[in-house]
Structure formats: C-alpha cells, structure tokens
Chains A and B, each alone.
Chain A
Amino acid sequence: MRPTDDINRLIKKLQLKASADLDRRVRNDINIALAESQKTDSAVTQPNIWRIIMKNPIVKLAVAAVVIIACLIGLSFWRTTGSGIALADVLARMEQVKAFRSQWSQWRTYGEKMTGEDPNKPYSSEARDTWSGTCLISQEYGFKGKIEQLDPNGGESTFTECYLSPDMKTLIIIQPWQKKYRRMELDDGWGERWRQKFDPRTQTKRILEYKYESMGRATIDGIEVEGFRTTDPNYHLIGENDPNIRQVDVKMWVDVKTRLPVRYDITYAWFDQMGDKIIEYGHYVMHDFQWDVPVDAAEFEPVIPDDYTSLVVKYPAHITEETAIQGLKLLVELLGKYPENITDVGATVLRLAEKSETPAAMRLKEEIKGLTDDEIGNKLVDFLMPIRGLAKFYNLLQWDKKDPAYYGKTVTPKDADKVLMRWKVSDNEYRVIYGDLRVETVTPEKLAELEGGLPK
C-alpha cells in the first residue's frame, strides 16, 4: 500500500461523537426555527392525520404563554372529600348525547429535562407549539372542527377547518390561509382514530379501562364538579403510538348536577430514544362542553370556494394486511432481503438501495437519471409508498395493542416456514406472514411453536 493510502486510511479512522449538549442545541433549533417558518405544506406527510393537521405551526413564545394562561384561568377549585359520581354512569349519559360542541387547546413545550424533574419547571431554552380549536360532533351528521394557530407577533391567525363524514370514510381539510383543501378517503380505522382524538367519550372509556382515582369536589367556572384522575403507567394516549411517550396524567372533571364532563386536562412527557431524558411535554385540554345541542345538516357541509386548489396527498390511504405484504415484497425486490426493522424505513431504505444491485434497485437508479431534484423527490416518494404503508400498518398494530412482532433480522425470503411478522387477531388467533409472504391464521400455541424455532 502506498504511504498516501496509509495516511488516508488513518485519517478515516478519526471519529468523534457529537455531545448530548450539541444534540440538544440543534434539536431545539430545529423545533424553533421550523415552527416559526413552516408555512409550506408537506406532501410527504405520513398518514397520521392529527399530525397532518398540526403540520403548519406558527409558534411565538409570548402569545403561546397567553394561550396557556387563558386555558388555565378558568380553573379555580376547592376540594371536598365527597365522591358520589360513578364514572361508568357518566359515560352512559355521554353515549346518549346526540350532538355536542366543545373547545380544546393543545400545546407542546420542547426542551430537555432529566427523568423526575418537575414538569412545571421552565426549560433553560424552550419552544412551544400551540393550537386551539372547536369541534362539533353529531351521531347523525359526523364531525366538524376548526383549528386556530395564533401568531403571537400580531400577525393573522391561521385557521384550518376539518369535516369528517358520518361513516368516517371521508375527511376534508380546508386551509383558507393557503387557499387549499384536501380530500382524503379513509379506511374505517383511520376515521375512527381521528375522531377519537377529539371525542371525550373515548377519553372517558379509556380512563375507565385503567386504574383511576377520585379527586374529590371542586369548582370550575362556577360549576361544582367532581374530578377523576389516572396516572396509570400503562395508559395509552389517544392518537399517539410512540412508545417514548410516558408519564401520562389525565384529569377529568364532571358536573355533579348533570353528570356530564366539564373539562379534561391531559399532560404527557416524550422521552428521548435512550429513555433518560424528557425532550417534550404535551398538554391537551378539552373544555366548554355544550351537550345535546341542536344541529343542522348544513353545518356539516364543507364550503370550498372556487379559487381553492386541491393539495396532493401522498400516503397510502387504505392500510391493510395487503398494504403490508406489498411493502415487504418491494423491500425484497429492492434489497434482496428484509430490513432489520420496518418502523424506521423510508429514507433509510434508500441508503440500503444505493448499495443494492438487485434489478429493482438498478432500475430505480436508472430511472432517476436526468431528472430534476423535484422530479426525483416526487418519484422517490411514490416509489416508497408501499414501504411507508408497511411501516404505518405496523405502527397501527402497535397503536391498537395487537401484539405485533417482526423478525426481518433473521428471517429471509427463502424461509417459507418461518414467521416474518405476526399480530394478534383475537384471544385465540394470530395472523402470521411467513418469510415467503404466505399468510395464515394460527392459534397462540401454534405461534409459540413457530417462534420457538426462530434463530435467537
């Protein structure tokens, strides 16, 4: 080897790791800067519809603080030790309501804190995303919501309107500040999940499923209420399936006269990948409920002005088992094997594809030659769609607690009798995708036998 090569070889060995402090600084800057500047629509948004809505935050600290104060200002209470309300009775009453209106606020604070630190203690540096809105839910006509993002610098607020059909299969999002709208055709699960986020009935059901306690009596906005609270570590936050979200604290206040909810306060902490630092706090409040309000069908009809243009929505709309299989198939074609994990795919797959010499990888590389950057981006997004669908399918299984597992690290396309992926269908059945992409429903006992044979 020539000496110059030796020098180069040695130089390539140089490797430092960025410190946690640099990570924190850059992450904060990413959060702050993009939150401030982001007004453009992301056509590559994953099909987490809640995040699609929240994609365009205008965050300025001062007025965000005002929003928070405004949300909290109405909450003053005194406690008694009395407790006479059964939460199940509250839910039963809520289920009888045909239509209701409510308001909500959500804000997120970014920063970093060590586990156990006081969540109310200010960050050394922080940013906030803040939204608020109203919603109207009718059993007969569907869902209508309005989301407002305030510009604390005195600029105009941005409003987004959302309409979900009663069958929960069509979602229309109107963004007047962009003069744009999106129409999305959803599968059953998506619409339902989306509605759940805003529906207090789901929150109440969820509290009932976990360990909760009475907080006694209090007064909110002059109304005598009784509080319920859960901090159950197993509590599964509605609308989020990220395992790094923990320390969920849910409080619910019920009017002692009407036995219907007055307010919900939800706080959660978002930990970093290592699990030892909190990088974000989320707060979600539902309040000002108006139960059993009269509604008109016309209220649920979106009005889209003629000069509004339709946004291109690029995501796999219908996420099913077939979506997952198509994604796995494409991965094999592209990489010649299954990747080690399927939850962080997308751009990462392209890094692997770069080195791959499969016909599909070669074809992709050939097809983008001579294209502009924009054309390449569009092409890659389209190309990766089945793989994103696979990742989303797996996320949904996690979200729905269907006990999913994926064994791409050890299972190959030739392993026709080995479990590549599985999830729970019912107490007595699991769905299994084998290495050759054959699908079968098996009993838990059979699954245990199959998984027992997998390489460790």
Chain B
Amino acid sequence: MLEDKLLVWQFNRGSKDALRHIYEKYKNDLVTLAAALLTDVSSAEDVVHDVFVCFIKSSDRFRLTGSLKGYLATCVANSARNKNKARQKRLSYGLDEADVVSSNPNNPDAAVIFGEELRQLSSALSQLPYEQREVLLLHSYSGLKFRTIAGSLGVSINTVQGRYRYAVDKLRSMLNGEVRK
C-alpha cells in the first residue's frame, strides 16, 4: 500500500493533512465495522472516535507493520470488544436499561442499521455470539488474515478458524436462501 506508506510517513512527521487523509479514507469502513460489531451506530461512532484519538496521539511513535486498514480495524475491534464487555457487565448488574434495549438481538433498530436491503443480514449478524461475529467481520469485511486475528485476540489460529466456520454456518442457516438470490 504505497499510499498508506506515504501517509504514515507524513503522519509520523506531524502532518495534519496526512491524518485527515487517513481519516477520510477509512472512516466509513471503520464505522461500518464497529456498527456491525456493536449493532449500535452511536456506540460505533464513539469507538471510531476513540480509536482516532489514540491514533493521533501516537503520531511520533507509530510504526506500520502490516496494512494500515488492518491496523485500524484491529483497533476498532479491540475498542468495540471493551465496550461490549462493559455493556455485558452493566447488563449483568441490571444497571443500564438503555443498553438492555440496544444489545437485544431482536431489537428491530439493530436489524435495520444497514438499511432494508441488508436487513436480514444485519439481523442475523446481531444474533451471532460476539466472538464469532468479531472474527467473521474482521476476516470477511476488513480482510484480516486468520493469523492476524488470532494474534490480536490472543487465541490460536484454530480457534479463530473454528469461530469463523461456526459464524458462517449459523448465518447461512439464518439467512436460508437469501444469499443465493
């Protein structure tokens, strides 16, 4: 990714334009990923915002080892996971009624985040266990390799592949013939 190499090089040297360029280039993909993970657009935007705040602060020490898109997607996934854990904790203590609604897999809002055309898919995604949804989206949407996902999650590659297979099977069964249209 020549463009990203140059942008990161400029970003390391304090270029505001490069940072804006990076944000503009990846913002929609990252919001989409976070929204699909959290089934909530507002929380998704908070996650992307947090990720960019951290990214901005890392300007002088950030080193790109893989793809920039993959790096940012991993950051979003990590932040979304933390948010999801916090949400689950609040749920278990019955502290947050609003979160109870937004994390309900049958919540109609969660199903229509991505519009009518993808209503069934988004509904089905929201019903997958979080760990499976995460692996599926990082691999299929963000293009991360299983090995990379395993590294960022701290689990084995077999576990990641297993979660992916389960996710695909469940989605297929939930969508029935939809994917063949």
Contact = CB atoms under 8 A, between A and B. Distances in A.
A3 B2 contact: no
B46 to A, nearest CB: 9
Contacts of B45: 18-19, 21-22
Given A11-B140, A18-B48, A377-B6, A33 B32 contact: no
Contact of A3 (B5, B7, B56, B179): B179
Contact of B140 (A12, A18, A364, A368): A12
Nearest to B53: A29
Contacts of B28: 15-18
Interface stretch (B11-19, B94-102, B146-154, B155-163): B11-19
Interface string B43-72: 011001100110011011001100000000
B122 interface: yes
A381 B2 CA distance: 11
Given A30-B56, A350-B3, A3 B27 contact: no
A333 B114 CA distance: 41
B91 interface: no
A86 B136 CA distance: 74
Contact of B32 (A16, A37, A354, A378): A16
Interface in B124-176: 136-137, 140-141, 168, 171-172, 175
B31 A376 contact: no
Interface in A19-35: 19, 21-23, 25-27, 29-31, 33-34
A10 B175 CA distance: 11
A353 B6 CA distance: 13
A12 B141 contact: yes
Interface string B1-40: 1110111111011111011110100011011100110000
Interface in A358-389: 364-365, 368, 373-374, 376-378, 380-381, 384
A55 B32 CA distance: 34
B27 A26 contact: yes
A230 to B, nearest CB: 31
B16 A22 contact: no
Interface residues of B, number: 56
Contacts of A13: 117-118, 121
A364 B14 CA distance: 25
A244 to B, nearest CB: 14
Contacts of A31: 16
A376 B57 contact: no
A387 to B, nearest CB: 12
A124 interface: no
Contacts of A9: 179
A8 interface: yes
Q: Which of A10, A14, A37 has the most CB of B within 10 A?
A: A14
A10 B168 CA distance: 12
Nearest to B36: A14
Contacts of A310: none
Nearest to A34: B16
B56 A354 contact: no
Interface stretch (A39-47, A72-80, A196-204, A408-416): A39-47
Contacts of B63: 373
A6 interface: yes
A69 interface: no
Contact of A33 (B20, B56, B118, B178): B56
Contact of B13 (A33, A37, A40): A40
A44 B141 CA distance: 33
Contact of A11 (B1, B44, B60, B121): B121
A11 to B, nearest CB: 4
A426 interface: no
B10 A33 contact: no
A381 B18 CA distance: 13
A393 B175 CA distance: 55
Interface string A296-320: 0000000000000000000000000
A16 B178 CA distance: 21
A368 B2 contact: yes
A351 B2 CA distance: 7
B104 to A, nearest CB: 20
A4 B3 contact: no
A153 interface: no
Given A37-B59, A55-B14, 14 more contacts: A7-B140, A10-B178, A11-B121, A11-B137, A11-B141, A14-B32, A26-B23, A26-B48, A34-B19, A42-B10, A376-B5, A377-B8, A380-B5, A380-B6
Interface of A: 3-4, 6-19, 21-23, 25-27, 29-31, 33-34, 37-44, 55-56, 346-348, 350-351, 353-354, 364-365, 368, 373-374, 376-378, 380-381, 384
Q: Which 10 A-B pairs have the closest CB atoms?
A: A377-B9, A6-B179, A350-B2, A350-B3, A18-B27, A351-B3, A38-B14, A33-B56, A11-B140, A16-B32
